[in-house]
Amino acid sequence: MEISVIIPVYNEEDNIHMLHKRLSEVMQQLEVSYELVFVNDGSQDNSIALIKALSKQHPEVRYIDFSRNFGHQIAVTAGLDKTSGNAVVIIDADLQDPPELIIEMYQKMQEGYQVVYAKRKKRSGESWFKLWTAKVFYRLLSRITSISIPVDTGDFRIMDQKIVEILREMPEKNKYLRGQISWIGFNQTYIEYDRQQRNSGETGYTVSKMLRFALDGITGFSDFPLKVVTYFGFIVSLFASFVMLYALYARFISQDYQPGWASLMVVILFIGGVQMIAIGIIGEYLSRMNTNIRNRPLYIVRDTNLDHED
């Protein structure tokens, strides 16, 4: 097998046929042996029935059907666990990532790169909220991590089987694949593209999924928030110790003190808020440690036609 394509699918019934058609054309143009691995991430629509029907007509169509919705990164991970191609492509099912770009990515890979990712120049058809939060997030993340995670890049990419093998060995449960791939290193490069509108349907990434994903990226690759809390703790304590000295001085030496309700409230509320934030940040790290310690399987497969085990 030369190329394996991994396609996470969550409620994409109106996109599957078009995607299959365009991917097949690309693969025929490349003249390589290939498989298309659809991972159905607990869709509530007809997606899995369509995929199974396709797989009956086309032997290169493989599927992994989850028992429920486990999330986009986990769906891709399941695909990575089972693919055997020399090169592995990750692509969205909604045609926001044009399949035709795979040709250029594959050719670039032949120049001696292990990873070729697709960097978004423009993104059409997405809300200003999504564009703005994504922009700020990617820049923040690249500032606070020690590795360089490329900005404005999703998971659309092609990579060598060697990279996939290393990814399988990485034990973390909270996956942030684009960061993990940067962390692995080797020769990585990119091509630029204009991200398209969704062909049909609506985004499966709700705000809460986006937030969790962003926190997975930060906590997985940076201890900066914890350090900020520590520094802040020192600064506040330093300030507090001066105020304490002054309070003692006012009480015992100058004897010039007021029953100071307002100042007391301000200090208590401020310290209370800071402590709350600090505990919350620690909690984010702790809950992820907890997930790793529980060590549950990442996903449950209901049904698959992929038999080669790793």
- In this complex, which beta carbon is closest to Mg ion, that of residue 15 or of residue 145? 15
- Does residue 90 bind ligand UDP (CB under 6 A)? no
Residues 183 to 242 in contact with ligand UDP, rule: CB under 6 A: 203-205
Q: Which does 204 bind (CB under 5 to 8 A by kind): ligand UDP, Mg ion, none?
A: ligand UDP
Name the residue type at position 56: K
Our finding on whether 69 is near ligand UDP (CB under 6 A) is yes
Candidate residues 35, 41, 94, 97; the one interacting with Mg ion per rule CB under 5 A:
94
Asked if residues 92 and 9 have their Cβ atoms less than 8 Å apart, the reply is no
Quick one: which of 194, 4, 1 has its CA closest to 80? 4
Q: Which does 93 bind (CB under 5 to 8 A by kind): Mg ion, ligand UDP, none?
A: ligand UDP
Please name the amino acid found at residue 142: S
113 binds, among ligand UDP, Mg ion, none (CB under 5 to 8 A by kind): none
Binding partner of residue 189 among Mg ion, ligand UDP, none, CB cut-off 5 to 8 Å per kind = none
Q: Which is nearer to ligand UDP, 35 or 92 (CB)?
A: 92
The Cα-based distances of 151 to 40, 53, 160, 258 in angstroms read 28, 38, 21, 54
Among residues 212 and 288, whose Cβ is nearest to ligand UDP? 212
Nearest approach, Cβ of 6 to ligand UDP (angstroms)? Answer: 10
Residue pair 1/34 in contact (Cβ under 8 Å)? The answer is yes
> Could you say which DSSP state residue 152 is in?
T
User: Using the rule CB under 6 A, which residue among 5, 9, 87, 306 binds ligand UDP?
Assistant: 9
Please tell me the count of residues contacting ligand UDP according to CB under 6 A. 16
The interface region with Mg ion, picked from 29-37, 96-104, 138-146, 231-239 by CB under 5 A, is 96-104
**Helical residues (DSSP H) of 1-152, grouped into ranges:** 16-30, 47-57, 72-82, 101-110, 128-144
Regarding 75 and contact with ligand UDP (CB under 6 A), the answer is yes
Regarding 114 and contact with Mg ion (CB under 5 A), the answer is no
Count of beta carbons in the 10 Å neighbourhood of residue 20: 22
- Please tell me whether residue 96 binds ligand UDP under the rule CB under 6 A: yes
Q: What angle do CA 19, 21, 26 make, to 5 degrees?
A: 95
Q: Which stretch binds Mg ion (CB under 5 A): 10-18, 42-50, 95-103, 231-239?
A: 95-103
Tell me which of Mg ion, ligand UDP, none is bound by residue 6, counting a contact when its beta carbon lies within the kind-specific cut-off of 5 to 8 angstroms: none
State yes or no: residue 97 binds Mg ion (CB under 5 A). Answer: no
Contact between 94 and ligand UDP by CB under 6 A: the answer reads yes
Nearest to 195 by CA among 109, 129, 90, 125: 125
As a whole number of angstroms, the distance between CA 91 and CA 277 comes to: 37
Stretch that binds ligand UDP, among 90-98, 252-260, 266-274, 283-291 (CB under 6 A): 90-98
**Where would I find the H helices in the chain?**
16-30, 47-57, 72-82, 101-110, 128-144, 161-169, 177-184, 207-221, 224-248, 261-294
CA 111 to chain centre: 28
User: Which residues of this chain interact with ligand UDP, rule CB under 6 A?
Assistant: 8-10, 12, 41, 69, 71-72, 75, 92-94, 96, 203-205
